[in-house]
Each structure stands twice: as C-alpha cells, then as structure tokens.
Amino acid sequence: MDIKEVPVNTITRDTKDLAAPTGNLYETVVILSKRANQISLEEKKEITKKLEEVKNERDNMEEVFENKEQIEISKYYERLPKPDLIAIEEFRRGELYYRKAGSGSEGGEE
C-alpha cells in the first residue's frame, strides 16, 4: 500500500462499517491495535537504523542537537501518517490477514 494514499489527519468513521468484516467492533479494534503496533515497531527500526548511519563517533551533546541530517530524518518520520491510520486504511481495503485463535476462520488478504 502506498503511504501517500493514507490520510494524515483523523477521520470520523462509522463503527458499523469497521465492524462489518469481523462482525464485532471489539475484534476489529484488537486487529487494528496489533497491526498498528507492528507498523510502529517497523518504523522505529527504520528510524533507528537511519539515525545510526548519520551518527558520528565523536558526537557530543552540542553536535547532536545541531546535526541537520538527524533533524531531517526525524521530520520525515513525523510527517508520515500515524500507525493507527495506516492500519485502519489497510483493514478498510481488505489488505490485512487475520484469524480467530482456535476457530480456523480467516478474513482479509495478506
């Protein structure tokens, strides 16, 4: 999914539409929460890796605050849509794979 297609601001959504694929709003919230956590962890790994690449071995506190590369990387990630909005958009489009534990029923696509 293209992140540019995900709205950056919060949108009021009809809870009935969100609950329709699972039949239960609470199950939908759990699915969205777990996916948002996955996205958040992926983004954290990416930003940590990029910040480590631009880090100097002899950084002192003054240089860290003035490192323009680190500031640009941080600003880029701050402008991205929040993980929960990405998860909702993936769920809405049917791009998430989920299943109930022990029941064998499945939904969505991977």
Per-residue pLDDT band at 2 (split at 50, 70, 90): low
Contact between 39 and 82 under an 8 Å Cβ cutoff? The reply is no
Question: Which pLDDT score is estimated for 52?
Answer: 84
Any residues with CB less than 8 A from the CB of 36 and at least 6 apart, and which? 83, 84, 86, 87
Output the pTM of the full model. 0.75
Would the pLDDT of 64 be above 80?
no
| Tens digits of residue pLDDT in 18-60 | 999 999 999 999 999 999 999 999 999 999 898 888 776 555 5
3-class SS of residue 57: coil
First vs last Cα of the chain: how many Å apart?
11
Question: Which pLDDT score is estimated for 83?
Answer: 92
- Please identify which residue in the block is written with the tokens 């991977």: 110
